[in-house]
Structure 1
Amino acid sequence: MSLHRKPKTQQAFLLEAMQRLDMDADQFARRLGASRRRLDDWLKRTGELGSVELDPVIWTFVRELVERAELAEVRDSTAAPLGPPELPRGRSRFSSPGRWVA
């Protein structure tokens, strides 16, 4: 299921978003600026007592959160690996006896 179009249920949409963002329900609710109770109401099945329909703005906000997280993940995976700087052959990391060169 793609988050770029509205999935069959808002419950599936929210659960997939939480999984992609690697957040538990409490973290996800805080990120959305909602109470945990409100998130639980959004996660109820349509027609279930106490279920609340997501506002279209929340659908968009969640999609953007996931897209930004995925973009950051791609950027991080394509970045050059961090490691010690290369030194010219034959040179030591010490500039003079006992002095470390960073």
Structure 2
Amino acid sequence: MTANQRVWGAIGAVIITGTVFKVTYFRYCREMMIQQADKSHLTATEHYREAKEFAKWSAQDRAEKRAELPPLTPEQRDQMRAYLRLMQEYHAFNPDSDVDPETGKPR
């Protein structure tokens, strides 16, 4: 073997070794990403299921508690409307504010 052939052989060996390393590393990273995505998906699916169950329970609980409440008196209705109107007007001018319009203090 001449020196020129040995140099080209070494270059070829480096290229082949590098290619094998890149392919192996790519497959390893791909498997890790797939495993992480699977784990993340399972966790997200479980959280979603729990959230749906909680929402269902919460709706039932609110409905039960609402049924137990006595109806509002006309005076209470007027007070509620006045409060909602006040909050609507205040937040129309200050949508990002968390300050109580009555007291001027943070909530």
TM-score (norm 2): 0.29
Rg bigger for which structure? 2
**Larger strand share, 1 or 2:** 1
Q: Which has the higher contact order (CA 8 A, sep 6+)?
A: 1
